[in-house]
Amino acid sequence: MQDSDRQWLTLDLLKAAEEHFKDKEIEAARLNAEILLAHVLQSTRMELYLKHDRPIFQRELEEFRLLCRKRLKGRPLQYITGEQIFYGHSFLVDERVLIPRPETELVLEHALDRMAVQGFTDRGGVSVLDIGTGTGCLAIMLALKLPNVKITAVDLSPGALEVAERNAVRHDVSGRIDFLQADALSPRFADDVREKYDVILSNPPYIPELEWEGLEPEVKEHEPKMAMVILDGFAFYRAITANAPVLLKTGGLLCFELHADGAGKVLEIVSAHGIRDVEVHQDYAGWDRVLSGLLKGSGAG
């Protein structure tokens, strides 16, 4: 990649970048090279191969090298390109928001399944509260999947809310999502939110403070700590569940993403606050990842 006089072609540059990333022990070296070069060329990864003999212009080569250096310094790929794919859709990301993970797609799938079982997807006027919305990926995907749903998306971070609002505009659902800055740990949270909902979703901070130092440098040095870490890992589950009788309609659905080994404790918390018919679902690695239940009572409203 450093041959100053060489005329690079797309496939040759990909191969060179892949080897360089491998030498520097970057995981998924080929994928990283493909995504960065596609970003520079404003193309898809498939187009890189369909146009494998396309010459790389000097300006493009310099930009690609710059992005590769950022990646080698540990900056997450998604923050370099400003994009993450979530459930097949592109979401804007930057250092103000946590990068959406595949595990959170399971929360979306599970919530959609349980909403269907409860009949929420068959009627109008269904309301959803998304606590800790971050990029807005859960709220926006629900809005895309369910035209009858009205959503309130909450986050403590004004920066995260700005990103989420931009994503909502990007996906043309901003008219059906209200964005609200509020702290779920505040005693005034229920007053700030004000309404009762059919569904509460949350992917809250759940990494205990003691685990922070053991995380990968790529995570610690770039992603927002406040979106991941809380002292013992369970404060948000306690606070949100304690507010469930106020914020959820009778028969309403509460759905959480879980720390990989947090299901037992969260089950205790929700059971103590009138949440019944609890289900726990595992991710593809076999870890408990999603927990949901219904506020005791009959009916959905």
Mean pLDDT along residues 140-156: 96
Residue 301, pLDDT > 50, answer: no
Please report the pLDDT score of residue 122 as a whole number.
82
Please report the pLDDT score of residue 300 as a whole number.
41
Mean pLDDT along residues 173-184: 97
Residue 5, pLDDT > 80, answer: no
> Per CATH, which fold does 83-295 belong to?
Rossmann fold (3.40.50)
Q: What share of the chain in percent tops pLDDT 70?
A: 97
For 261-284, write each residue's pLDDT tens digit: 999 999 999 999 999 999 999 999
Mean pLDDT along residues 45-71: 97
Give the residue from 190, 181, 291 showing the smallest Cα distance to 239. 190
DSSP structure string for 214-271? GS-HHHHTTS-GGGTEESSS-HHHHHHHHHHHHHEEEEEEEEEE--TT-HHHHHHHHH
- The mean predicted confidence, pLDDT, of the chain is 95
For 62-80, write each residue's pLDDT tens digit: 999 999 999 999 999 999 9
- Identify the three-state secondary structure at position 3: coil
Look at phi and psi of residue 105 and say left if phi exceeds 0, alpha if psi is from -120 to 50, else beta: alpha
- Per domain, the residue ranges of the chain are 10-73, 83-295
Residue 44, pLDDT > 70, answer: yes
For 188-222, write each residue's pLDDT tens digit: 999 999 899 999 999 999 999 999 999 999 999 99
Alpha helices by DSSP H, listed for 82-214, are: 102-117, 137-145, 158-170, 189-193
- Identify the three-state secondary structure at position 180: strand
In angstroms, the CA 206 to CA 230 distance is: 6
For 81-103, write each residue's pLDDT tens digit: 999 999 999 999 999 999 999 99
Please report the pLDDT score of residue 121 as a whole number.
84
For 115-132, write each residue's pLDDT tens digit: 999 999 888 889 999 999
Residue 166, pLDDT > 60, answer: yes
Give the residue from 123, 125, 155 showing the smallest Cα distance to 139. 155
